[in-house]
Structure 1
């Protein structure tokens, strides 16, 4: 093997290593972002649980209200009114600009 071939092979390996290092750095940044988002969601989830506990304490013990909603649906309605999704598709996420969600309304008011 001549010197030029060795040099060319080393150059190719160096380029591959540089490319791998760049991929590693990008992957590391994405993983960090996922961990941060996960931590934020865990905190928001805990806040929602705390809010749910508070709402459960404030609701009357009667199984049905004048509106015909059970205690659990009243809680879902209250969470919805505070700007959170209660539907299966988006549960726990904030409703953007308090837009209506047909899925949430179906969960709260079906079978009345």
Structure 2
């Protein structure tokens, strides 16, 4: 092998290593974002659990209200009014600009 070929191979290998390092750095940044988002969701989930417990304590012991909602549906209704989705598709996420969600309303008011 000639010196020039060895040198060219080293330059090629260096270029490949730099590409791999750039990909690794990008992947590391994406993983950091995923971990941060996961932490935020865990905190929001805990807040929702705390709110749910508080709502359960504050509701009357009546299994049915005059509106015909059970205690569990009252809790879902309260969470919905607080601006959170209670439907299966988007459960626990915030409703953007408090828009109506037909799925949530179906969960709360079906069979009435």
**Stretches (4+) displaced over 4 A:** none
CA RMSD of aligned residues (A): 0.6
1:5 Cα deviation from its structure 2 partner: 1.0
Residues in 2 aligned to 1:65 and 1:109: alpha-carbon distance in whole angstroms: 13
Listed one character per residue, the Cα deviations across residues 38-86 of structure 1 (whole Å, up to 9, x for unaligned) are 1000000000000000000111111111111100000000000000000
SS of 1:107's equivalent? helix
1:29 Cα deviation from its structure 2 partner: 0.6
Partner in structure 2 of residue 7 of structure 1: 7
Gapped regions of structure 2 (runs ≥ 5): none
Determine whether 1:92 maps to 2:92: yes
Partner in structure 2 of residue 81 of structure 1: 81
Gapped regions of structure 1 (runs ≥ 5): none
Partner in structure 2 of residue 25 of structure 1: 25
TM-score, length-scaled by structure 2: 0.98
TM-score, length-scaled by structure 1: 0.98
* Aligned positions, number: 112
Residues in 2 aligned to 1:50 and 1:33: alpha-carbon distance in whole angstroms: 26
- Please give the residue correspondences for 1:63-82 in structure 2 after superposition, counting only pairs within 5 Å: 63-82=63-82
